[in-house]
Structure 1
Amino acid sequence: MTQASPPVLDLSACDKEAIRTPGSIQPHGFLLTLSHGLEVLQASASLAQWAGVAAEAAVGQPLAQVIGEHAHARLAPALSAPLSARPFYLGTTTLANGRHFDVLAHEWDGVLIAEFEPTGRAEPADFRQLYPLIGDFLLKVNEAASVQSLAHLATRHIREVTGFGRVIAYQFDGDGHGHVMAESRDPSYQSYLGQRFPESDIPAQARALYTLSRIRLIQDANYTPSPLVPAMNPATGNMNDLSFAALRSVSPVHLQYMRNMGTLASMSVSLVVRGKLWGLISCHNAEPRAVPFEKRTACEQLGQILALCIETREDASELQFRLEVRRIMVSMLGGLTKGADFVDNMSSVFPELLRFARAGGVAIVADDRVLTYGAAPSHAQIQDLVAWLGMRGHVEVFHSDRLPSIYPPAREMMAVASGLLAMPISRIHKHYLLWFRPEVIHTVEWAGDPRHKPAGPGDPVQLSPRTSFAAWRETIRGTSLPWHSGEIELTIEFRTALLGIALERAEQMAELAEELGRANKELEAFSYSVSHDLRAPLRHIVGFSDLLLESAGSEDSGKRERFLRNIKESARLAGKLVDDLLSFSQMGRAALRPVTIDMTDMVDACIDKLGLEAHGRNIAWEIGPLPEICADPTFLHLAMFNLLSNAVKFTAGRDPAVIRIYAEQTDQESIFHVADNGAGFNMEYVHKLFGVFQRLHRMEDFQGTGIGLANVRRIVERHHGRVWATSVQGEGATFSFAIPRQPDIQ
């Protein structure tokens, strides 16, 4: 069958399961919750099976009374020493009934948690097998040419150590689906190599726990959970948090999932790269299987080494990719400064533009002018696409590898434009640089049909895993090759450089155009200081790029990373200055196009756009009734966004931050106010507030370029309005502007 994207399984309720506080453990051992004085606060019901003491009788007793004086003397010194959240192997001890146990302990949730796993030996675990396993793996690491080869090597080693029937390694893709890239198995086991497991197979809270606790074993999926007695942690009054407990009981849904898969024993080793869950090594066995602590430790160590190898390989590949893209970018920039016509300059480097983004087609849009190269949509389709991008608001770069799924008209052009990378060159004008990638039709093989059949009408809602793992193929349409993060970041830097070139052209034109009036005078007054501020970062970019080119063959990755960091910081600084200054310079000459504006909708749009800046903040937005006015929507949106952005920035130290937007009307004007409870400013300097590059606070306290409020004043005055501000320092500020109700806009 054919469809655009994998359906979502009907397992959303899994996200609500309290998997960290199951209230029970797996019964192949027993668990004691201890006070720091080594008194038993809780015991698992399995204590009776393994130690011959009822859990209820053990609660409140000294540890020695429960496990015997000999075992107590063996464990007490280690239990009295500081313990961390991760289980620590205390050794092997013999209880009063003569049974031997490996003991793990950790401190978590306000108590000590001791876990006892039975073993057939009286002596401590032998970790000598850890060294040949790790040593052999390290010897073969350099022979592996790819991450996939490393994963194959790891699955084979882990299967040899544990004896599991099948060991697979899979990586999570951008949508969270697991792609099986390596496998070692007994011939009697079904192969999953190359298949995908849907994202919904592992709920979000389970992924978080995999990141926190790197290894998990289930000896028998048919086990009966052993409850903790009493159920509540005496230290907290809540269910015990068993996040790090090796014996922690697992979700009944997952146990059913295992049985549906024909797996009665499983072990997983997390592959955590740069602090995020990159993938898993998953071990399956058709029969119950125990894995002693020393073997689990060996597998966990191998998983950590594999994760480090993956990170190193990915970093090297990423650096090489970025260096190549940067070489192309430097070459293009050299060709963009030769002619006077910006669009003609861009069209002269069309082949390099295609190579820069690994695209099939590229287009330059300058208002009504469209130039294309390679496989691109028609000019009319491109103009419609640019209009749609304009409605989404200004962003540094827009990218999608599934354009038809978010822009329905793209279905008519997905053969050449299933992927889009769009870069606005101006905040005011309809100037865009667009890259297109063609559709890549591909077939995905799932380990079972990822579509879940929900309960029928009237059926009770039950949480249940899927039951089939037979291979199911799906053909994906309307997608392109994904955009690399390096391509996106370097496109932002490229945009910064283009804006610098455009600003230089704008400054040259400003010197010749008398109609710019006060805008020209302002630009002339600060042109030399601004020139240094803007060009210095751009020179850094070119200089460090040259150094990168010279060090391309060097083994010193630290030096190259330092060059990249310098380039990135310089580009960001230059980009912000160039964006704000170019926007300011354009305010004086771009024609206004007044229409009737619903100010409530405009304010809502600005608040949505501020989502990233306000993320995690406690901000109370109080929006009063706002009238409709006649003004240029693009300009007024920028003015309102600058005022609201300032309010968010200067209330950073307030919890809650309160930002009020309200209006009043007279016969002549519509007056709007943006009030906040932030840092405020000293009214002695209010006359400097709306000037270019005027700051009333230190850069270290509140970052900014000092151009935003100058833009607000210019926009309002272009509408023959007025702007002002009042404040009590330390208590907040109110910024106000008035727009004539009968505009006379030229």
Structure 2
Amino acid sequence: MSERDSQVPCNDSDPLVAAVANCSREPIHIPGSIQPHGFLLVLDSPSLAILQASENVVDWLGAPADCLAGARLVDLCEAGAVVERALSLLGPAEPAPRHLADLRLARPDDGRERDIAVTAHVTAGLVIVEFEEVDGDAAANGDFYPLLATFIGRLQDAADTEQLCRLAIGEIKRLSGFGRVKAYAFDADGNGQVLAELADPGYSSYLGLHFPASDIPQQARALYCVNRIRLIVDADYRPSPLVPALNPKTAQPLDLSQAALRSVSPVHLQYMRNMRTQASMSISIVVGGRLWGLISCHHVQPLIVAPQTRAVCELLGRLLSLQIESRESRASAEHMLALRHYVFQLLSSMSDHDSVQHGLREQAQTLLDFMAADGAAVIDASDCQLFGHTPAAPQVEALAYWLAGRHATEPFHSDNLARDIPELPELADSVAGLLAVSISQIHPHYLIWFKNECIRTVNWAGKPEKSVDAHGSLDPRHSFECWQEVRRGYSTPWHPRELQAVLELRNAILGIVLRKAEAMAQLAGDLSKSNKELEAFSYSVSHDLRAPLRHIAGYAELLEEFEGERLSERGRRFIDNIADAARFAGSLVDSLLSFSQMGRAALHPVTVDMQGLLGAVLHEMQPEIEGRAITWNIGELPVVHADAVYLHQVLRNLLSNALKYSRGRNPAVIEIGAEQSSGCTQVFVRDNGVGFDMQYVDKLFNVFQRLHRMEDFEGTGIGLANVRRIIERHDGRVWAKAAPDEGATFYFTLPDPRQEI
């Protein structure tokens, strides 16, 4: 038993690595030789003159291969005329082998006639004709229609893929006579698992076992897709080379991809012998243009299968492929429909909320079910929301930073984090797999799903390791006994359809964000227009009201001065009330005018020493401070980049507020301080006054909003609104914290002096 935690990187200087690489580069489609249970001729088109022949042609036609150049088959044997007539029916492009005729040829060595099946195909302007010796009974044409009709009906009734494979291998075993027939499917890594098997007594069973991907190199897999059936009659055969080695017409080795007699790799022949298999036949299961699996037939003795029988077996394999493709297409459609249902639920929630993050938070379980994940994270610039089983927030944030550094637009996925993200080893302590997708084209915002470790036991047909022989060539394994491996550190893999669905979700989210951004831009435009109109209106009204209010106050004073002695006490009280109201209204109008001007005036930022500015403000406010018991706690204030005039107004308003609302305290304690935080300067003004209820804090910085009665505390209700407008124009923000009768603290931020406003 083995436990595999991760894959070890390969060393190119390792002899085993070199042997595997050489095996993967072996040009198996141009072996330059054939299997000797038949012979092969290469004819020119359209003259049908012989260009090449297999060396063993002499055993059949009596003429050496090197003497046949330019000859015609019709001149070499009586059956040549039959073959040439059949060849005349071939089209100019017949890449698949076609059965031409069944002949009887007498071998020159013993004069005994043999049954020969003749097939041919056309490639690159050449006609490749193959003559195979077959058993007399096998060569006879059978009526395969009832078999195929019954087989198709049974395929349609099969419950699952395993039953489909059992039906196919049953018919193929009965037709071909092989002692063991098995069907296996490849996983995403190319490893094969035996799904169905039928074997005669005495044959080892491989049902349920796995075969490593390295057993079939990539070029062999590609050839399986081109040529759907391959027969090896005897693993101990002696190859018969082509003469000449290079085709005279193309000056290249002959492509034998479609040839039934094509010789195979010596490594594969040794593999067969190690498996105690003397004859084999492979039938490809091709689904959607990819090699889905194989039907593999084995026999302990040499075995010839006639071309007609092979053709029926190949057809059965194609029917099986179509059935599997149909079922997989239906399953794929159902899976995508289910995934898109989750996408619809998530999008509906996001559309109903102000932000994507809020919408996803409301559908946390749907987010997990969508990817069949154990945990998920939604990350934006200011927040990291975690759902289900995930790594700790700092680890997820580090992961987001790592993802952003990749600058990739495609989803990142892994079923083994220890292997794929060695830079963050702590992730693998919590989870084994993840899938991440960016949901912003500008900012590092991500959706991430996590999967826990899924410990899996894999039963291999022999230990899946290669070795090298004394000559440095690949030596196939010798044992195919069940060898068990425990795989740790892996999650269940992410399905390609899940990756497709995640991309659809990402694109839809970007669409939602874009629509929300457009709506916000439209709203911002409308709001800006309304604000400008309101500012113009307030400026006009406040400017025009100043003169009448001054007149009212002035005439009230004149009336009291000139007619005061003749007025009653009640009349003088009325005059005083008129004057006070006019002065308050004038002050209110002046504040409103200042507020409207703030939105229109340009800023002139300069370097400002806040310590010195605070001293000037306190000196100016000396009349308000005189006669009061006040304890000042003034911290170290920094140098900032701001408009000095407006910053003076901010400090004046905040300090006036602190003095006003701490009027009943003895002593009043007022604290001013600052600190650097997240690339900005944060300033605060704190008092021990009456405070306020935090449930009303949102109203605090609005125009004309007051949290206390005017009878208790004077003021126009515009000062804090002015503070917010000034600070926001400096790209800062303002807020407050308080509790009733426990004082209040007002904060504002300004950009770092090193940054431009």
TM-score by length of 1: 0.66
* 1:474 partner SS: strand
Q: What amino acid is aligned across from residue 5 of structure 2 in structure 1?
A: A
* 2:497 partner SS: helix
Q: In structure 1, what is the equivalent of residue 188 of structure 2?
A: 174
From 258, 261, 286, the counterpart of 1:247: 261
Q: Distance in 2 between matches of 1:444 and 1:275?
A: 28
* 1:281 partner SS: strand
Q: In structure 2, what is the equivalent of residue 115 of structure 1?
A: 130
CA contact (8 A) 2:466 2:474 kept: no
User: Is 1:56 aligned to residue 66 of structure 2?
Assistant: yes
Q: Distance in 2 between matches of 1:117 and 1:5?
A: 49
5 Å-filtered alignment, 1:519-558, equals none
Deviation at 1:416, TM superposition (A): 5.0
* 1:169 partner SS: strand
Q: Distance in 2 between matches of 1:407 and 1:113?
A: 52
From 88, 96, 104, the counterpart of 2:98: 88
User: Is 1:357 aligned to residue 368 of structure 2?
Assistant: no
Structure 1 residues 516 and 171, CA gap change in structure 2 (3 angstroms): farther
From 266, 286, 289, the counterpart of 1:272: 286
Deviation at 1:124, TM superposition (A): 6.6
From 450, 472, 479, the counterpart of 1:468: 479
Q: Distance in 2 between matches of 1:448 and 1:134?
A: 36
5 Å-filtered alignment, 1:686-697, equals none
User: Is 1:34 aligned to residue 43 of structure 2?
Assistant: yes
Q: 153-162 vs 98-107, which deviates more?
A: 98-107
Deviation at 1:24, TM superposition (A): 1.2
Unaligned runs of 5+ in 2: 11-15, 529-753
Q: Distance in 1 between matches of 2:7 and 2:354?
A: 50
Structure 1 residues 374 and 278, CA gap change in structure 2 (3 angstroms): same
Structure index of larger Rg: 2
Deviation at 1:394, TM superposition (A): 3.7
User: Is 1:105 aligned to residue 106 of structure 2?
Assistant: no
CA contact (8 A) 1:410 1:417 kept: no
Structure 1 residues 389 and 54, CA gap change in structure 2 (3 angstroms): same
Q: In structure 2, what is the equivalent of residue 543 of structure 1?
A: none
Q: What do the CA deviations read for 1:178-221 (whole angstroms, capped 9, x no partner)?
A: 12111111131111111111111111111111111111100000
Structure 1 residues 239 and 496, CA gap change in structure 2 (3 angstroms): closer
* 1:312 partner SS: helix
Q: In structure 1, what is the equivalent of residue 3 of structure 2?
A: 2
* 2:479 partner SS: coil
Deviation at 1:300, TM superposition (A): 0.2
* 1:127 partner SS: coil
Q: What amino acid is aligned across from residue 4 of structure 2 in structure 1?
A: Q
Q: In structure 2, what is the equivalent of residue 318 of structure 1?
A: 332
Q: What do the CA deviations read for 1:404-457 (whole angstroms, capped 9, x no partner)?
A: 2111366544465212121212232232121111111101111111122457xx
* 1:510 partner SS: helix
CA contact (8 A) 2:6 2:419 kept: no
User: Is 1:298 aligned to residue 330 of structure 2?
Assistant: no
Q: What amino acid is aligned across from residue 304 of structure 1 in structure 2?
A: R
* 1:505 partner SS: helix
CA RMSD after TM alignment: 2.5
5 Å-filtered alignment, 1:347-496, equals 347-408=361-422, 411-414=425-428, 416-454=430-468, 460-496=471-507
From 480, 492, 514, the counterpart of 1:503: 514
Q: In structure 2, what is the equivalent of residue 154 of structure 1?
A: 168
CA contact (8 A) 2:467 2:476 kept: no
Structure 1 residues 411 and 745, CA gap change in structure 2 (3 angstroms): same
From 196, 203, 213, the counterpart of 1:189: 203
Deviation at 1:354, TM superposition (A): 1.1
Q: In structure 1, what is the equivalent of residue 298 of structure 2?
A: 284
From 7, 18, 21, the counterpart of 1:12: 21
TM-score by length of 2: 0.65
Deviation at 1:268, TM superposition (A): 0.4
CA contact (8 A) 1:265 1:284 kept: yes
Q: What amino acid is aligned across from residue 55 of structure 1 in structure 2?
A: A
Q: In structure 2, what is the equivalent of residue 696 of structure 1?
A: none
CA contact (8 A) 1:362 1:376 kept: yes
From 209, 216, 231, the counterpart of 2:245: 231
Q: 376-385 vs 460-469, which deviates more?
A: 460-469
Q: Distance in 2 between matches of 1:333 and 1:344?
A: 12
CA contact (8 A) 2:417 2:427 kept: no
Q: In structure 1, what is the equivalent of residue 739 of structure 2?
A: none
Q: 291-300 vs 36-45, which deviates more?
A: 36-45
Deviation at 1:744, TM superposition (A): 7.8
Q: In structure 2, what is the equivalent of residue 209 of structure 1?
A: 223
Q: In structure 1, what is the equivalent of residue 82 of structure 2?
A: 74
CA contact (8 A) 1:261 1:468 kept: yes
Q: Distance in 1 between matches of 2:6 and 2:174?
A: 38
Structure 1 residues 195 and 110, CA gap change in structure 2 (3 angstroms): same
Q: What amino acid is aligned across from residue 3 of structure 2 in structure 1?
A: T
User: Is 1:126 aligned to residue 126 of structure 2?
Assistant: no
Q: 204-213 vs 400-409, which deviates more?
A: 400-409
Q: What do the CA deviations read for 1:458-512 (whole angstroms, capped 9, x no partner)?
A: x652233222222211111121112222221121121222222222332344356
Q: Distance in 1 between matches of 2:295 and 2:361?
A: 49
Structure 1 residues 320 and 235, CA gap change in structure 2 (3 angstroms): same
Q: Distance in 1 between matches of 2:420 and 2:177?
A: 48
Deviation at 1:263, TM superposition (A): 0.7
Q: What do the CA deviations read for 1:70-102 (whole angstroms, capped 9, x no partner)?
A: x12222222123340111101212336644311
CA contact (8 A) 1:47 1:54 kept: yes
Q: Distance in 1 between matches of 2:525 and 2:306?
A: 84
CA contact (8 A) 1:4 1:477 kept: yes
Structure 1 residues 64 and 504, CA gap change in structure 2 (3 angstroms): closer
User: Is 1:165 aligned to residue 164 of structure 2?
Assistant: no
Structure 1 residues 16 and 409, CA gap change in structure 2 (3 angstroms): closer
Q: 255-264 vs 5-14, which deviates more?
A: 5-14
CA contact (8 A) 1:410 1:418 kept: no
Structure 1 residues 420 and 120, CA gap change in structure 2 (3 angstroms): closer
Q: What amino acid is aligned across from residue 2 of structure 1 in structure 2?
A: E
Q: Distance in 2 between matches of 1:6 and 1:135?
A: 48
Structure 1 residues 397 and 168, CA gap change in structure 2 (3 angstroms): same
Deviation at 1:353, TM superposition (A): 0.8
Q: In structure 2, what is the equivalent of residue 222 of structure 1?
A: 236
Q: What do the CA deviations read for 1:367-400 (whole angstroms, capped 9, x no partner)?
A: 2412112111111111111111111114142222
* 1:104 partner SS: strand
CA contact (8 A) 1:169 1:282 kept: yes
CA contact (8 A) 1:217 1:268 kept: yes
Deviation at 1:362, TM superposition (A): 1.4
From 37, 43, 51, the counterpart of 2:53: 43
CA contact (8 A) 1:416 1:436 kept: no
Deviation at 1:235, TM superposition (A): 1.2
Deviation at 1:515, TM superposition (A): 14
CA contact (8 A) 1:4 1:476 kept: yes
Question: What is the aligned-residue identity percentage?
Answer: 45
* 1:67 partner SS: coil
Q: In structure 2, what is the equivalent of residue 668 of structure 1?
A: none
Q: In structure 2, what is the equivalent of residue 22 of structure 1?
A: 31
